[in-house]
Structure 1
Amino acid sequence: MTNNILISGITGFVGFNLSNYLKEDYRIQGVSRRTSDKFISYDVLNKEVLNANKAFIHLAGKAHDLKNTSQEKEYFNVNFELTKNVFDKFLNSDCDVFIFMSSVKAIAGEVEGVLDESHESNPVTAYGKSKLAAEEYILSKEVPKNKRVYILRPCMIHGPSNKGNLNLLYNFVSKGIPYPFGKYENQRSFLSVKNLCFVIKELIENKTIPSGVYNIADDTPLSTKKLVLNIGKAIEKEVRVLNLPKSVLIILGKIGDILPIPINTEKIHKLTENYMVSNKKIKDAIGIKKLPLSAEEGIHLTIKSFIK
């Protein structure tokens, strides 16, 4: 059996970490829009190329645009049409495993309770809708018995050198700025990129894991307040938490929608919302009780990388 693996989106944050995670056991080939010494292009991705590979991991996609400047068509061209194209090629090849990186946002923009795989789909953004369209296309196709197909729905992924909302919180703590959202008692799931890489490797190697849709998250959710305290612990800095009225924060967010300050309405919402994701199905399928890294350990590694 070949040890070759194709990864689209290999130059992205997840692709970079995954290729490093797998490279000791597999020969990794990146798939890109252009052919080069390092990558093959989608145009030359044919049956012969796929036949020489054990798995195709489709990470390439258009990420959620926080500035809301992208057109819906852009999301569907990349997240749906490209996925449809490569999945059709996979079905007509001898490649064994197809893994599609979707998102919890394909199911819900907001969550009451805990999101599991039985939750009814109701995406609210073009990003989520395009990911769901790709999921539905994959699930509509009959998969040969000798193949395995997995749709992964990760929540917010973080890891060494990955910026984003964690970087915003890191800036609060590292600069000694008081954390102003003490009034919010939320619970949010996160996903360490190392836990994600562990799951993907298991899916490639463990033939007993059934094809299907799987949510991917760390084992326990964290409140943003606890997250900030963990950041302070990681960089050995005292954290000051303020209990500002929510009405004041709403006004600050609206100001940030207009002026270039670190906080705007969407960032406040993301930092303070509840979004709990169950990972029970994937852990049961793998046969484990917990993922390699705890939520706190994963956060610690990510924040330490900011210091470096």
Structure 2
Amino acid sequence: MSRKILVTGATGFLGKALIRRFCNLSNTSVVAPVRNMDGDFPEVVSRIYIPSIDSGTDWTESLSGVDVVVHTAARVHVAGEDSAQFLEKFRAINVQGTLNLARQAVQAGVRRFIFISTIKVNGEITSPGCAFLADDIPKPMGPYAISKFEAEQGLLELANTGAIEVVIVRPVLIYGAGVGANFQQMMHLLKKGVPLPFGAVSNSRSFVSLENVTDLIETCIDHPCAVNQVFLVSDNSDLSTTQLMRRLITYLEVKTWLMPVPVGLLIFLASLMGRRSIAQRLFGSLQVDISKNQQLLGWTPPVSLDDALSRTVRHFLDARRS
């Protein structure tokens, strides 16, 4: 039986990986709404021009014959947009844009809508050993997380009418081949081999590889027990910042000394420089419990954290050489 999957955010880090994965599934065709028709996609992918995502976007052509929507597109969090004044900008895309797509998906007869949310809906930080659960009371902070939570609520209200099946996935930080942003910057910094003051960080953070998050999303396409559920996703192996850096140093094959500077001093210095949010990510804990995935879906991460980190570093080094 053939099926058709629409993937929004097709040019993003996660979106591109999902399209590659779905193109390898039997009896599956993929639709990619894009703003630039010149993007590099497999020939089997149907590209449809969508200039923007908001409450007025017309999805008629994109949704024709589609069975499942995987919605990864969003206005993402960027530094400096944490104040309430930016909330309406996030809502325009992440809430109104999402719900407009979902309502049109209902009209088009789409069976299932998979929404890629964020762990920030649960909150920003956990106490060591007290991991977030998928069914915890959400505590979103900041306009990005609030907008994602409001979109989740709207989708579940739609699902409760029986008009469409909804699955919500809240990933932690995603890494993998081609990762950018802070993870890439960390590898660049470690590759330089200069001493760094991160040798005494004893926090605990969850991460998820591109292979594992796409595997869970693929599982959620058809699994009957995924209907109208929220899932957290990680590699199920937590690391401190110091442990993560030491692993990366090993795979980068560099000699970088991580000096054991007290974390309290580092947090104080970061605050003086206006880098409190960066300090929270480096020194705070954020753990998730993914036991619900095993219980409902029979799903566990197929790729180990160390294998995924090794592949990420190899790709990073290959890209530097080329």
Q: Which residue of 2 aligns with 1:22?
A: 22
Alignment of 1:134 onto 2:134: no
Identity of aligned residues (%): 23
- Per the alignment, residue 220 of structure 1 pairs with 237
Q: Distance in 2 between matches of 1:221 and 1:5?
A: 32
1:180 aligns with 2:194: no
How far, CA to CA, are the matches of 2:94 and 2:162 in structure 1? 26
**Structure 1 partner of 2:277:** 266
Runs of 4+ more than 3 Å apart: 32-37, 142-147, 207-210, 254-257
Which is further off, 74-83 or 92-101? Answer: 92-101
Question: 1 CA distance for matches of 2:162 and 2:156?
Answer: 14
The 10-residue stretch of structure 1 (90-99 or 268-277) with the greater mean CA deviation from structure 2: 90-99
Give the match's secondary structure for 2:226. coil
Matches within 5 A, 1:85-124: 85-112=100-127, 113-124=130-141
Q: Retained in 1: the 8 A contact 2:251–2:313?
A: yes
Partner of 1:53: 66
Unaligned runs of 5+ in 2: 39-45
Counterpart pick for 2:90 among 69, 75, 80: 75
2:302 maps to: 292
User: In the aligned structure 1, how far is the partner of 2:18 from the partner of 2:11?
Assistant: 10
Tell me: CA distance 1:146–1:254, structure 2 relative to 1, closer, same or farther (3 Å). closer
What whole-Å deviation, never above 9, does each CA across 1:174-229 have from its counterpart, x for those lacking one?
11122312232011000111111111111113334333111111111111111111
Deviates more, 1:292-301 or 1:195-204: 292-301
CA contact (8 A) 1:181 1:272 kept: no
Cα deviations by residue, 1:222-271 (Å, 9 ceiling, x for unpaired): 111111111011112233121113343234424543xxxxxx33222211
- In structure 2, give the amino acid aligned to 1:88: R
Q: Which is worse superposed, 5-14 or 297-306?
A: 297-306
User: The residue matched to 2:141 in structure 1 has which SS?
Assistant: coil
- Contact 2:8 2:72 (8 Å CA) reproduced: yes
| Counterpart position of 1:260 | none
| Aligned ranges 1:33-52 → 2 under 5 Å | 38-41=47-50, 43-46=57-60, 50-52=63-65
**3-state SS of the aligned residue for 2:238?**
coil
Following superposition, the deviation at residue 145 of structure 1 comes to: 5.5
What is the distance in 1 between the residues matched to 2:293 and 2:265?
41
Equivalence map 1:244-255=2 (5 Å): 244-254=261-271
What is the distance in 2 between the residues matched to 1:247 and 1:229? 21
Pair 144,204 (structure 1): closer, same or farther in 2 beyond 3 Å = farther
Q: Which has the higher mean CA deviation after the structures are superposed, 114-123 or 235-244?
A: 235-244
- CA deviations 1:149-185 (Å, max 9, x no partner) are 1011111111111122222321332111223122320
Q: Matches of 2:16 and 2:92 in 1, distance apart?
A: 23
Q: How many residues align?
A: 300
Task: Name the SS of the counterpart of 2:258 in structure 1.
Answer: coil
1:9 aligned onto 2:9: yes
TM-score under structure 1 normalisation?
0.89
Secondary structure at the residue paired with 2:184?
helix
How many Å separate the matches in 1 of 2:261 and 2:216?
40
Query: In the alignment, which residue of structure 2 is the partner of 1:230?
Result: 247
